[in-house]
Amino acid sequence: MSEKFEDLFDRYVDRFVAGEDLSSCVEDDETGLSDLLMPLLQTSELVAHQLRSVEPSPQFRVAARHRIRNLFFARLARRESSPGFLSMWWQRRWATAMVTAMVVCLAGLGVLAASVNALPSGFFYPVKTTTEQVRLVLTTSEYERTQLQVEFVERRLSEMRSMAGRGDTEMAVLLGGEVTRLVVQMSTSALFDVANGSAITIGPPTTEEAVSPVAALQANREGSLNLLTVLLDAAPEELKPRIEHLMSELSRDFDATITQLETRTTQASQ
């Protein structure tokens, strides 16, 4: 009975929240229960009516709209001015041939070797990620491709730690997401006996601090580790030690990055 009341009551609340008044709601009541619920319906209407009366001032509305539009375009401009390292090499498959030619040229100049230790803020970083993409494209063996992917995950982990150490939280979080993306990409390999790698989803953080950098890193850490655990079971024997090593590195580097961010947050709040 109680549950029925709650369901019926909820339908009335929907209507009050939408701005209907009590008399029109009761008018078309077919359950005959509105009399019983009347005191509660009156209270609900009062609460809905009072809270609906809260509105932002017209001046604030205009000023806020202006500000958010400016912010929107500022972010857009920043994104377009540096399409960069994260989007370039996985969005532009059509450019593979051109990139290959570039890599061949740069290889002759020794730039590729110099780029291996480049960080996202560095001049050579696009060369580094482009080279990675080309190496993946040119590899025909599934086993070698997976080995490369493991190597690239390790690079992103190391970069994530370095960027967090330099105080670039945004980049560290981006790189944490990139680690997860690469692990998911790895899981689609035919080497693993996983029915469909893409079906293994990594959900968003669900805690109260859902959007904090630390929560984002924690979600990526857990998601990547869960997926790697699945892959470890399904991996060929010769690959298992490599994946186990990657899991331990991943735990260590995410933990170190999270600790760095937390320490910085604590220091900033003091």
Partner 1 sequence: MSGEQELVARAARGDVDAFSKLYEQNFDRVYRYLYVRLGNEAESEDITQEVFAKVLEVISSFQWRDVPFASWLFRIAHNKMIDHIRKEKKIERVDSEETVLSLDDPDPADMAEQNLQLEKVRHNIGRLSPAQREVIWLRFGAGLTTTEVASALGKSTGTVKALQYNGIVALRKMMEIHA
Q: Give whichever of 27 and 208 is closer to partner 1, judged by the CB atom.
A: 208
Is 270 an interacting residue with respect to partner 1 (CB under 8 A)?
no
Q: Which is nearer to partner 1, 196 or 206 (CB)?
A: 206
Are the beta carbons of 142 and 190 closer than 8 angstroms?
A: yes
- Work out the number of other CB atoms within 10 angstroms of the CB of residue 162: 19
- 105 three-state secondary structure: helix
How far is residue 187's CA from residue 192's CA, in Å, rounded to a whole number?
7
Which among 69-77, 116-124, 130-138, 236-244 is the span making contact with partner 1, rule CB under 8 A? 69-77
Please report the DSSP string for 93-155 in residue order.
Answer: GGGHHHHHHHHHHHHHHTHHHHHTT--TTSTTHHHHHHHHHHHHHH---HHHHHHHHHHHHHH
Using CB under 8 A as the binding rule, the residues of this chain from 186 to 215 that contact partner 1 are 201, 203-204, 206, 208-212
Which residue, among 145, 178, 169, 159, has the nearest Cα to 116 in the 3D structure? Answer: 159
- Contact region with partner 1 (CB under 8 A), list: 24-32, 53-61, 116-124, 239-247: 53-61
The answer to whether 81 contacts partner 1 (rule: CB under 8 A) is: no
What is the C-alpha to C-alpha distance for residues 160 and 166, in angstroms, rounded to an integer? 10
Q: Report the site for partner 1 in 3-32 (rule: CB under 8 A).
A: 3, 5-7, 9-10, 13-14, 16-17
Q: Does 90 bind partner 1 (CB under 8 A)?
A: no
- Site residues, partner 1 (CB under 8 A): 3, 5-7, 9-10, 13-14, 16-17, 39-40, 43-44, 46-48, 50-57, 60-61, 64-65, 67-69, 71-73, 75-76, 79, 177, 201, 203-204, 206, 208-212, 216
